[in-house]
Amino acid sequence: MHRFILTGLILVLALSRGVRADAPALQPGKSTIDDVLDALQASGKDLKSFTADVAMKIEDEVMSTSSTQIGKAWFQTKPGGEPKIHLVFDQKKAGDKIVPQKRQEFLLDEGWLTSRDENKMHETRIQLVPAGQKMNLFQLGKGPFPLPIGQDKKDVYAQFEVKMMPAGKNDPANSIHLQLTPKPGTPLDQNFSTIDAWIDCATRMPTRMATENKKHTEIKTTDLLNLVFNPTIKPEDLQLPPLPEKWTTIDKPLSR
Please give the full DSSP string across 97-165, using - where no structure is assigned.
EEEEEEEEEEEEETTEEEEEETTTTEEEEEE-S-TT----TT-TTTSSS--SSS--HHHHHHHEEEEEP
Give me the pLDDT at residue 228, please. Answer: 82
Question: Is residue 88 within 8 Å of 103, Cβ to Cβ?
Answer: yes
Q: Kindly give the confidence (pLDDT) of every residue in the chain, 256 residues in length, as a single tens digit, with 9 standing for 90 and above.
A: 444 455 555 544 544 444 445 556 799 999 999 998 888 777 655 667 888 898 989 899 999 999 999 999 898 888 877 778 899 999 999 888 999 999 999 998 888 889 999 999 999 999 988 887 765 555 555 444 445 555 678 888 888 899 999 999 999 999 999 999 999 988 778 888 998 989 888 877 778 888 898 999 999 898 888 878 788 999 999 999 999 999 999 999 987 5
Q: Is the pTM of this model over 0.85?
A: no
Instruction: Please give the CATH superfamily to which domain 2-252 belongs.
Output: Lipoprotein localisation LolA/LolB/LppX (2.50.20.10)
CA–CA distance, 210 with 69 (Å, rounded to integer): 15
Contact 91, 100 (CB under 8 A): yes
Instruction: Quote the CA–CA distance of 114 and 238 in Å, as a whole number.
Output: 12
Measured distance CA(22)–CA(253) in Å, rounded: 40
* Interatomic CA distance for residues 75 and 89, integer angstroms: 15
